[in-house]
Amino acid sequence: MTTPPQRPNFVSIGVSGGIGSGKSTAAREICIALNAQHINADDIVSELLQRESVVNEIISALGEGVCDEMGTLNRNKLGSVVFRDEGSRLLLEEILHPKVREIIFAEIKFLTEQQQNLALVLDIPLLHEGGLDKLCDFVIFVDTPEEQRSARACERHSWDIGHWQAREKMQMPIASKKSLADAILCNDSSLSALRDQVELLVPRLKNLTPRTLSSRWPEN
């Protein structure tokens, strides 16, 4: 990707955390508190997996084992394949990650062209691993006990604990993510308690210095 042109100034807040920590819930609360725009990488991936061209590319790379009996891509089977085989995971990332980055860039470019002094909240599971933390002026880590995270994720996605653990191992260690954060939200009780913590952060977030898109977009 060529160096993007200068764009209107904006601030961006990244949200990180382990699988099942409640990152998206925290991101939505931050958006409400700041009147910010929410960019959710999981939503982008879900949209990509509805595209016939992307689905065909995945099946061609990974084989029919990711399909159901009708030959349709099955996300549960896809997850099982890529999280037990490193080579398959890397192939999937080679297909999806450039497309996700392209869409994120396009969304930010569009939003910054429409509005001055924009605030964005980046809800990206592999924020640090993909180098997209360079887009952020501030990173918030959502801290949730492991037993709560695993229970939430397994219930939401119908995973077993082994699948959750396999996914966790594919990501940066929790302690490393936590050490890279500018602030920590504790998400081990109620939504109102989380909301109260977000409100305490608002003055710091409103004091962030805007930058241009071209000054922060990571190199490919």
Residue 9 CA to residue 17 CA, distance in Å, equals 27
Residue 209 CA to residue 207 CA, distance in Å, equals 6
Share of the chain above pLDDT 90, in %: 74
Alpha-carbon 26 to chain mean position: 12
Tell me the backbone φ, ψ of residue 16, rounded to 5 degrees.
-125, 170
Give the count of beta carbons closer than 10 Å to the beta carbon of residue 218: 13
Residue 93 CA to residue 180 CA, distance in Å, equals 23
Q: How confident is the model at residue 204 (pLDDT cuts 50, 70, 90)?
A: very high
Would the pLDDT of 220 be above 50? no
Residue whose token pair is 């653990």: 165
Residue 133 CA to residue 150 CA, distance in Å, equals 25
Chain segment 76-101, per-residue pLDDT in tens? 889 888 888 889 999 999 999 999 99
The per-residue pLDDT of the chain, averaged, comes to 91
Domains of the chain (ranges, CATH numbers): 10-206 (3.40.50.300)
**Structure tokens, 32:** 């409400």
The angle subtended at Cα 18 by Cα 73 and Cα 183, nearest 5°, is: 135
Name the strands in the sheet holding 183-186, side by side, starting at the edge strand that comes first in the sequence.
Answer: 37-40, 118-123, 10-17, 138-143, 183-186
Asked if 7 and 112 count as a contact pair (C-beta separation under 8 A), the reply is yes
Residue whose token pair is 């508190």: 33
Residue 191 CA to residue 203 CA, distance in Å, equals 20
Question: In 3D, which of 67, 216, 61, 220 has the Cα closest to residue 133?
Answer: 216
Question: Would you state the pLDDT for residue 24?
Answer: 95
> Stretch 134-153: mean pLDDT, rounded?
95
